[in-house]
Structure 1
Amino acid sequence: MSLPTVKPASPAELAQFAMLLEVTARGKPGNIDRCHDYADTRLDHFLASAVLAKPVFSAVEDGCLSIGEAVRDAVARTNMHNGGNTHFGAFLLLLPLLAGRGIAGAAELVQKTTVTDAVLFYEAFGLTQVRVRTKDPMDVNDPASVQRLRDEQITMYNVMEYSAPHDMVAREWTNGFALTRWAADLLLEQNTGVHAIPAMFLTLMAEYPDTFIAKKFDDATAEQVMHKARDVKCGRRDLAAFDEECINAGINPGSLADICIAGIFTALLEGWKWDC
């Protein structure tokens, strides 16, 4: 009797897999992994988020949701735990990459987002506790901002353009997913299996100050963390000690983690084998 043909993983499954690979990879300083939790957010919250997002990924793969609808629905589904914001930034990258079947398609799709997408994006913010800048004229928590979106015909892409100077996830929308591309290339070039993800993450961390850290603390702290990551890469600082230092101080490079997920997904789409 012949065995049934096994279908390859779908893009939606690869998106889910990318989320799981990122959060379970050890050696990403300051971020939750199999060895580190924070008081209010734990590994199991991230695992739950990856599982709960799957129906939204499948709907996007089938072309049933706009980007704004997908972001709102993904946040709504994954808000079923009390661990706060786990993957908001990752969804902003994964969903267009999934809909566009990669970077080229995503870069084209995000420019076609609408005012309705922007309104749904703001609605998604209201469902979770995403860290934002204080005293922002486009405050996502201010109902007047939503009316401004409609009055001035501001699309979701326009919102990302506005946020790009101070938010590296938004910046991916406006620069053709440049860091996502670099992250994916690091995985494809290194091809070192389970060790490739922490190596890729540390490379990103050593080159770019994380904008989540800057919002949580300040620009100077984000710069200091970047320079310490460079010291780790050069062997002047111990990785485990740096990781513990970040964890104890609550310094978590969350924006780079989101880009890491997008890079993993892109590499998987392009044939990267995780366990090799």
Structure 2
Amino acid sequence: MAEPLSEQIARAFIAACEDELAAPKPGNVHIYAPGHGMEAQDFIASAAAAAPHLAAADASVGARILGAVEATWARVGCNTNLGIILLCAPLAHAALRAGESGLAEKLVATLDSLDSSDADLAFRAILRASPAGLGSAPQHDVAAPAQISLREAMALAAERDLVARQYANGFADIFGLGQEALRDARARGRDRETATLLVFMTYARHFADTHIQRKFGEKVALETLTRFQEAASLLDAAHDRDSMFRIALELDRSLKKSGYNPGACADLTVAALFVDYLLAILPNVHKNG
């Protein structure tokens, strides 16, 4: 009997999270080094807890987000994965949509269908997770009842948050930049861990990380962007995995010493890996009944 699609999606989410942890992403938690008071096992446990809620067969996007966040808190007692959940919930919902359209098209339809109830549930999840540097907004603050759709609310935050920006641009950076980096790494014969590192570095060299910006300000975020661009150039010139990992881990130690965590770029990396897994699953859905 074929495995239900919801279970395949849950496994894909867990696999994407584990892949992200297996690469030495500078400044983030990974299997080579803890960071910011957390260890890789916290994120592995969080992925397992969140997966069934993200991939539930008949749930709204908002319900997926809130269920996954609450399950994460029940398991690990801290915010390990809010950005990941906010990105992967609409992707999981899109993958479960009926029809012959591709994943990107289904994702746009999912984003277009979001309403104020999705926003209410997502706001509750964000308040529960209490992310660093959340602050408040003059309009449509997450502490107040939602009066607009979740996509509209995210669009208002798009300039200051890379995760929110994906809701506004149809996940263009996930389906575009992320998938291109993954394909390029594979074409160059990179293994899974190195390919994941290169996807992360692609985001980190293109964007000033908005998690760092919220916590430390724009100046630090831009300085960190420059450091990532310099490290990425070194990675471009490196030819073997060991050299690439040494470069990444040297920057990792330096960033963690300062407390800088490029968490938004890590969130985008998980989403890009999740899309890659979903694209491998979806062509087989109709063949498997």
* TM-score, reference length from structure 1: 0.86
Q: How many Å separate the matches in 2 of 1:117 and 1:5?
A: 31
Counting matched residue pairs gives 258
CA drift at 1:6: 8.9
Deviations 1:160-189 (CA, angstroms, capped at 9, x unpaired): 011111111000011121111121221123
Matched, 1:154 2:148: yes
In the alignment, the residues of structure 2 paired with residue 215 and residue 229 of structure 1 have an alpha-carbon distance, to the nearest angstrom, of 18
Pairing of 1:120-159 with structure 2 (within 5 A): 120-138=121-139, 140=141, 142=143, 145-146=144-145, 149=146, 153-159=147-153
> Given the alignment, which residue of 252, 258, 272 partners 2:261?
252
Task: After superposition, give the CA deviation of every residue in 1:245-269 in whole Å (9 maximum; x if it has no partner).
Answer: 1011111110111100010011222
Q: Distance in 2 between matches of 1:23 and 1:39?
A: 15
1:163 aligns with 2:157: yes
Gaps spanning 5+ residues in structure 1: where?
none
Match of 1:11 among 9, 12, 17: 9
Q: How does 1:1-276 map to 2 (within 5 A)?
A: 10-26=8-24, 28-59=25-56, 62=57, 64-82=58-76, 84-101=78-95, 102-138=103-139, 140=141, 142=143, 145-146=144-145, 149=146, 153-181=147-175, 182-191=177-186, 192-194=190-192, 195-235=194-234, 238-271=247-280
Q: Which residue type is aligned with residue 107 of structure 2?
A: A
Deviations 1:26-60 (A, max 9, x none): 2x11000012213532211101101111221331x
> Which protein is richer in helix relative to its size?
2
CA shift in 2, pair 1:96/1:233, >3 Å: same
SS in 2 for 1:11: helix
Aligned equivalents of 1:57, 1:95: Cα separation in 2: 5
Q: Which amino acid aligns with 2:109?
A: E
SS in 2 for 1:10: helix
- In 2, Cα distance between the equivalents of 1:127 and 1:45? 17
Aligned mates of 1:164, 1:41 — CA distance in 2? 27
* CA apart distance, 1:104: 2.3
Give the 3-state SS of the residue equivalent to 2:260 in structure 1: coil
Gaps of 5+ in 2: 96-102, 236-245, 282-289
Segment drifting more, 74-83 vs 130-139? 130-139
Tell whether the 8 Å contact from 2:60 to 2:118 is kept in structure 1 after alignment. Answer: yes
Please report how far the alpha carbon of residue 138 of structure 1 lies from its aligned counterpart in structure 2 after TM superposition.
Answer: 4.2
- Aligned-residue sequence identity (percent) comes to 26
Matches of 1:133 and 1:73, distance apart in 2? 20
- CA drift of 1:132 comes to 3.9
2 CA distance for matches of 1:5 and 1:122?
36
Root mean square deviation of aligned Cα: 2.4
Q: Alignment partner of 1:188: what SS? A: helix
Distance 2:80 2:124 in 1: 17
For residues 246 and 154 of structure 1, do their structure 2 counterparts lie closer, same or farther at Cα, with a shift above 3 Å needed?
A: same
Deviating more after overlay: 75-84 vs 231-240: 231-240
- Give the whole-Å Cα distance in 1 for the aligned partners of 2:139 and 2:4: 45
d(CA) in 2 for partners of 1:93 and 1:132?
Answer: 19
CA contact (8 A) 2:27 2:35 kept: no
Structure 1 contact 115–156 (Cα < 8 Å) conserved: yes
* Greater Cα offset, 76-85 or 92-101: 76-85
Q: Identify which range, 180-189 or 167-176, moves more after superposition.
A: 180-189
